[in-house]
A and B are shown apart, each in its own frame.
Chain A
Amino acid sequence: AQSVTQLDSQVPVFEEAPVELRCNYSSSVSVYLFWYVQYPNQGLQLLLKYLSGSTLVESINGFEAEFNKSQTSFHLRKPSVHISDTAEYFCAVSDKGAQKLVFGQGTRLTINP
C-alpha cells in the first residue's frame, strides 16, 4: 500500500526567507507525485506535479519540487516566500494507472512579516 509522510506539520518562516516542505512516499510501483495548496476555507489547488521526464518541476508562482527516486522524496521549495503563500500544503501520490490520490497529512506554512 502507498503512503505519504509530510515530516513537518507546521513550518513558520519569515517573509522573503527560503522554505522547504518535506515529503516522502512509499510505493512498490511507479508513481505520479503532486503538491496541492489549500487556502483557508477553500478547496485544493494543484501547485505542481511530476509525471515523467525532468525530475525538477516548477510552478508559476516560484515553487519547485524535485523527484528523488532513490530517497523516495518530493520536497517542495521556494527561495523567497511571500505573505500570500500562507496556506496548507499537501503532498500526494498516485500509482501510474490508478485512479486515486493518497495524501500526506499536510504542512501548514505560516509566513511572518
Chain B
Amino acid sequence: NAGVMQNPRHLVRRRGQEARLRCSPMKGHSHVYWYRQLPEEGLKFMVYLQKENIIDESGMPKERFSAEFPKEGPSILRIQQVVRGDSAAYFCASSPLQPNTEAFFGQGTRLTVV
C-alpha cells in the first residue's frame, strides 16, 4: 500500500505563472487535507476535501488559491498568478476515518517562485 504521493517534489515558477500541485491519497482514504509550511514555521491548515466536495476551506487565501478532489484522479491544489510569498512547502495528508484520528502525510511539494 503506497503512501500519500505528491508530485512534483520540487516546482519552480516565475511570478505570474500558475502552479499545480498534485496529491494521491493512500488507497482507501477519502479525506484529503492540504497544509502549507512557510520557512521556519509550522504547518498551517489550508483546506479539507472529500471526494468532489470541499468541506472546510477556512485556511485558504481568498484569492488565487483553489483546490479540488475529483471523483477520479488526484487532489489538485492550484495557485494562480504566483508571487514570491507563495514560496513554501505544501503538504498533503489523507485519513481514512472521521473524525481525524490520524493523518498520513506526503513528502511535500516545495514551490519556489522566482
Number of interface residues of B (CB under 8 A): 28
The reply on B25 being an interface residue by CB < 8 A is no
What is the distance, in angstroms, from A76's C-beta to the closest C-beta of chain B?
15
Contact A43–B107 (Cβ < 8 Å): yes
Contact residue among A42, A44, A94, A98 (Cβ-Cβ distance under 8 Å from B43): A44
State in angstroms the CA–CA spacing of A96 and B107 once bound together: 26
Count chain A CB atoms within 10 A of each CB in B40, B45, B104 and give the residue with the most. B45
Count A-side interface residues using an 8 Å CB cutoff: 26
Cα separation A94 to B104 with both chains bound (whole Å): 14
Would you call A43 and B101 a contact (CB within 8 A)? Answer: no
Kindly state the separation between the CA atoms of A32 and B99 in the bound complex, as whole angstroms. 10
A49 contacts which chain B residues (CB < 8 A)?
101-102
Q: Is B1 part of the binding interface, using a Cβ–Cβ cutoff of 8 Å?
A: no
Residues of B within 8 A of A (CB): 4, 6, 31, 33, 35, 40-45, 48, 55-56, 59, 91, 93, 98-108
Chain A residues within CB distance 8 Å of chain B = 4, 6, 32, 36, 42-46, 49, 51, 90, 92, 94-106
Seed contacts A98-B100, A99-B99; 10 additional CB < 8 Å A-B pairs: A43-B91, A92-B43, A96-B99, A97-B99, A99-B31, A99-B33, A99-B48, A101-B45, A101-B103, A102-B45
